[in-house]
Structure 1
């Protein structure tokens, strides 16, 4: 049975999205792009743009599950807060459309797609292009979102992933 995964790379200015189909061990590119919020706009306007944009993506591509990158804490608290607010808007849009949501750190995504967690963005982009047999390189945020979707496909496959998709709680590779 085919699974359609929506990957999200949240950002306060640019939020990337990537949609892939997973059939057995094969991954197929469906779509990718970016939702851009108006620069300098108030937070409420940015949140609306993100939610409406994701509603459109969900309505257009009809994913069966979703994955989103977790926020990392950087040296600028204001930037971290803005990123967290954008991520919250994205999470809200996903759950309001009844999509199961998985969360992955940037380290987990890079390890899954590239093989090590310290990979530069260019290497992640290259692996996304290679794994999905793309004819060109997607914009960086869209490539990151596709990497999140690929990481979810890699982590959620097999028997344990099937149990988790049925709503059973998995912790440390075991039923919890």
Structure 2
């Protein structure tokens, strides 16, 4: 399974593609960040993020997309920008008919490090180790995107197969 992980943000939107399956070695396909200038108009920033995500979808052709679920932050402006970037990611994947999963930061941390309270350095170190890289992807948004993809391969992939089997059986039941 090839998964595009997206760590949404207005200034830096992390993108990471990982290929693998449960019980098999994972491999890095690509990692990067879409950057937008903080002083650019919001609409232009969102277009740049959409174009970046679309380019990654075209180039890497993932089987699924995993996006970090927006969680409540103290800074309303930050959470709004993150939510807007997240919406762009969801629309881009849905437009192509790709399965999309939302994972909370604590789910991702627990999946890659064993602790839902791991810090950025621990997550980066585990991503580096799991993908057998020589150095930690920078900035942290890039490492977080890879962690999202890994989390989805290990946790979300099974749920996707269950949902597909239920849909094929005609039950129409899927996970909420």
TM-score, length-normalised on structure 2? 0.89
1:14 to 1, 12, 15: 12
TM-score, length-normalised on structure 1? 0.89
Distance across 2 between alignment mates of 1:38 and 1:166: 44
Alignment partner, residue 102 of structure 1 = 101
Divergent runs of 4+, >6 A: none
Distance across 2 between alignment mates of 1:55 and 1:85: 16
Q: CA deviation at 1:23?
A: 4.2
For structure 1, the 5+ residue unaligned runs are: none
Specify the SS of the correspondent of 1:83.
helix
Q: CA deviation at 1:166?
A: 4.8
Specify the SS of the correspondent of 1:156.
helix
Higher strand share: 1
| Equivalent residues of 1:155, 1:161 under 8 A apart | no
| Equivalent residues of 1:51, 1:92 under 8 A apart | no
Specify the SS of the correspondent of 1:25.
coil
Specify the SS of the correspondent of 1:29.
strand
| Equivalent residues of 2:17, 2:29 under 8 A apart | yes
Specify the SS of the correspondent of 1:11.
coil
Q: CA deviation at 1:92?
A: 1.4
For structure 2, the 5+ residue unaligned runs are: 168-172
Distance across 1 between alignment mates of 2:48 and 2:20: 29
| Equivalent residues in 2 for 1:162-173, closer than 5 Å | 162-166=161-165, 168=167, 169-171=173-175
Alignment partner, residue 62 of structure 2 = 63
Distance across 2 between alignment mates of 1:166 and 1:35: 35
Alignment partner, residue 152 of structure 2 = 152
Range 47-56 or range 80-89, more displaced = 80-89
Alignment partner, residue 49 of structure 1 = 48
Specify the SS of the correspondent of 2:118.
coil
Distance across 2 between alignment mates of 1:84 and 1:20: 23
Range 104-113 or range 24-33, more displaced = 24-33
| Equivalent residues in 2 for 1:22-101, closer than 5 Å | 22-23=20-21, 25-26=23-24, 27-101=26-100
C-alpha change, 1:53 and 1:166, in structure 2 (3 Å) is: farther
Distance across 1 between alignment mates of 2:164 and 2:7: 21
